[in-house]
A and B are shown apart, each in its own frame.
Chain A
Amino acid sequence: DAKTTQPNSMESNEEEPVHLPCNHSTISGTDYIHWYRQLPSQGPEYVIHGLTSNVNNRMASLAIAEDRKSSTLILHRATLRDAAVYYCILRDFYTGTASKLTFGTGTRLQVTL
């Protein structure tokens, strides 16, 4: 199963952009790249997902490498409320096999004033 690798932790100053990297060198052609985040004492929440092209939504942007072996979640202006653990995961669309969904330990983002 394709897995992802993320740094354990990152720090950012408030109001600055944050780039959270993720490596997924064994990604398959039918794997979507998903990002979730988990705020303290809450369940994970969906942030963004993409397949090949870069994606933007109200929460973040997702930049996907041309060979799809890595991606970067971009928070354009970090706020204190963005402090969370961010998970990069691969989700096979066609088989929908939940067992392939591996959250790992994610990246803990600290945001300081």
Chain B
Amino acid sequence: DADVTQTPRNRITKTGKRIMLECSQTKGHDRMYWYRQDPGLGLRLIYYSFDVKDINKGEISDGYSVSRQAQAKFSLSLESAIPNQTALYFCATSDRTEDGNTIYFGEGSWLTVV
């Protein structure tokens, strides 16, 4: 089983709908992240959380919100989806005590907004 699990893996939704992407991890890490990947743009950070009570905006947080329900769970919401939010989304984790702060990624969630 994957250490970082994202659901759903693929989703098509309509403009204006609310959509939630969920992430859970079994690595016991305190830090969790949501990234977005668009062709030719690499990965961009949306939100990150260093512990359950800590939420921080990343480079491109507008139009997104997050919830850290527990140490192992971090969900990303699009309150009113728009077509330019069509992208591949990655959840990731890291451990502040680990040398170098290596980041571990999930397999990604493809989101299409039509």
CA distance A34 to B82 in the complex (A): 34
Q: A32, B43: Cβ atoms under 8 Å? A: no
Pick the contact of B102: A49, A99, A104 (CB < 8 A): A49
Q: Which residues of B contact A87 (CB under 8 A)?
A: 42-43
Nearest A residue (CB) for B105? A43
CA distance A42 to B18 in the complex (A): 26
Q: A98, B107: Cβ atoms under 8 Å? A: no
Number of interface residues of B (CB under 8 A): 29
Q: Give the distance to chain B from A67, nearest Cβ to Cβ, in Å.
A: 20
Count of A-B contacts judged by CB separation below 8 Å? 64
Q: Which residues of B contact A49 (CB under 8 A)?
A: 100, 102
Q: A43, B101: Cβ atoms under 8 Å? A: no
| Chain B, 73-113, CB within 8 A of any chain A CB | 90, 92, 94, 96, 99-108
Q: B107, A42: Cβ atoms under 8 Å? A: yes
> Number of contact residues on A: which range applies?
20 to 34
* Central interface residue in A93, A103, A105, by most chain B CB within 10 Å: A103
CA distance A105 to B59 in the complex (A): 15
Residue A44, interface by CB 8 Å? yes
Q: Which residues of B contact A103 (CB under 8 A)?
A: 35, 42-44
Give the dominant DSSP class at A's interface: loop
| Chain A, 70-113, CB within 8 A of any chain B CB | 87, 91, 93, 96, 98-99, 101-106
CA distance A83 to B88 in the complex (A): 20
Residue A45, interface by CB 8 Å? yes
Q: Give the distance to chain A from B29, nearest Cβ to Cβ, in Å.
A: 12
A residues whose Cβ falls under 8 Å from a Cβ of B = 32, 34, 36, 41-46, 49, 51, 87, 91, 93, 96, 98-99, 101-106
Question: Contacts A93-B99, A96-B50 given; 20 further ones with Cβ under 8 A?
Answer: A32-B101, A34-B100, A34-B102, A42-B107, A43-B107, A43-B108, A44-B43, A44-B103, A46-B102, A87-B42, A87-B43, A91-B100, A91-B101, A91-B103, A93-B100, A98-B48, A99-B48, A101-B103, A105-B41, A105-B42
